Amino acid sequence: MKKTKLLICYISFGLILLTSCSEDSNKLETSYNNGEKITINSDKTEQTKEPSQSMFRIDMQVPKTIKVGDSFEVKGFLINTSNTVWSIFHGADIFTYAIYDNKGELIPRHEDTIAVNDIGISTTLKPNSKYKYDGQEHVSTKLYKLTVNKPGEYKIIGQAEFNINYNNKDYEFQIKSEPQEIIVKK
């Protein structure tokens, strides 16, 4: 009887030891991203891919109709279309805008010189989030304020320039929006 109890104890101890040492298929890992706690299931985690242009897009809010010579504002948004949280770095002039006439010719800005403070800005872009930055006081001329002096149909294209440092490698991006049409009336 004593041997049976001892055998049951050894078997029980062995089972406990085996089950505690086996791989836990539901293991959770916790990490921190800019102070934000992220908990993930390590078995189902995919390796984050290198950042690419296909992970971002530019959207713009542009008035459809404006008057000749009137100043108007364009609002550009950088959108993270990936499932990854990215830390981006950019200058005060992250967003720039170009106007093209119906022949595809670039309409020049009226300012002779645009001064931009050489600052670095860092922000975090979460999946499907929009980011907007207008340069604030770091740009001599508001890059989002545009003027057209001749009536006609025009297209505006927005561009965002930014960097991502991923796995100790810098990735530079210049992403352009789809052209948006505006009509300039007298």
Question: Domain tally for the chain?
Answer: 1
Quick one: pLDDT at residue 25? Answer: 39
User: Is residue 152 domain-resident?
Assistant: yes
156 in helix, strand or coil? strand
Position with higher pLDDT, 2 vs 72: 72
- Tell me, what CATH number does 127's domain have? 2.60.40.2360
Q: Which domain holds residue 138?
A: 55-185
**Residue 24 pLDDT > 50:** no
User: Is residue 30 domain-resident?
Assistant: no
Position with higher pLDDT, 115 vs 119: 119
Quick one: pLDDT at residue 96? Answer: 87
Quick one: pLDDT at residue 121? Answer: 81
Strands 180-185 and 95-100: unpaired
Position with higher pLDDT, 135 vs 153: 153
Q: How many CA atoms lie less than 13 Å away from 18 in the CB half-sphere?
A: 6
Lowest mean pLDDT among 42-46, 84-88, 101-105, 151-155: 42-46
Quick one: pLDDT at residue 14? Answer: 52
User: Is residue 5 domain-resident?
Assistant: no
User: Is residue 13 domain-resident?
Assistant: no
pLDDT class of 135 with cuts at 50, 70, 90: low
User: Is residue 2 domain-resident?
Assistant: no
Give per-residue pLDDT as tens, 30-82.
444 444 434 343 333 344 789 999 999 999 999 999 999 999 989 999 999 99
CA angle, residues 125, 140, 122, in degrees to nearest 5: 20
Quick one: pLDDT at residue 116? Answer: 59
User: Is residue 47 domain-resident?
Assistant: no
Quick one: pLDDT at residue 36? Answer: 41
User: Is residue 96 domain-resident?
Assistant: yes
Question: Which residue's structure tokens are 């789809």?
Answer: 178
Find the mean pLDDT for residues 107-119.
Answer: 66
State what percent of residues in the chain have pLDDT above 70.
65
Structure tokens at 11: 């078997």
56 in helix, strand or coil? strand
**Residue 99 pLDDT > 80:** yes
Quick one: pLDDT at residue 45? Answer: 38
With left for phi above 0 and alpha for psi between -120 and 50, is residue 162 left, alpha or beta? beta
User: Is residue 161 domain-resident?
Assistant: yes
Report the mean per-residue pLDDT for the chain.
77
